[in-house]
Amino acid sequence: MLMAIVFTMLFSGGLIPLYLVVRATGLINTIWALIIPGLVSTFNMLIMKTYFENLPAEVEEAAKVDGCGDIQTWVRIVLPLSTPIMATLGLFYGVGHWNAYFAGIMYLNDKSLYPIQVVLRNMIQTPNVSQELAIANPMTLAALPPETIKMATVVVAIIPVLVIYPFLQRYFVKGMLLGAIKG
């Protein structure tokens, strides 16, 4: 089973089959087209598998001796012990989805659904920024240099990651070390 999972990491179907699957499921021009195709990462799954393998078997055996079933052991023992890896992978997934712009370009046609990264990319590629932004007061926009608007958008795009990271930092290093090294 592990070899089949690793095989999908090394040899993917490609861009066109992925687009055809997303179109066939009716996700084109929906926000779910940005989330569902990248929901499970093979690499992150291997990191989590390694982390679970390194959990002490004695802790699970003690829970079984105390009368816990499989689900109770999972909820009361394994989940609290796996907080560092879940926080780490949550940060990986969150930053990965937040920074992804190609899926927005590929799957979304409605400009109102564009994530901020697609808007930022379009602003950088468009020589006249005022055409890209729909701002009610064009006189204010005309007074600002285009580079100022671009850099302000970059700052706005990075703020959520800067706000969330300090809360997850204490788990991040521990989760990376424990999930990536086989002990």
Pairwise CA distance, residues 84 & 90, whole Å: 10
Q: What is the pLDDT of residue 181?
A: 47
Given a cut of 70, the residues of the chain with pLDDT beneath it are 127-143, 171-183
Q: What is the pLDDT of residue 183?
A: 46
Count Cα atoms within 13 angstroms, Cβ side, for 169.
7
The tens digit of pLDDT for each residue in 100-110 reads 889 999 999 99
* Domains, the chain: 2-180 (1.10.3720.10)
Q: What is the pLDDT of residue 135?
A: 52
Q: What is the pLDDT of residue 76?
A: 87
C-alpha distances (whole Å) from 68 to each of 57, 64, 179 are: 14, 5, 26
Conformation bin of residue 67: beta by default, left when phi > 0, alpha when psi is -120 to 50: left
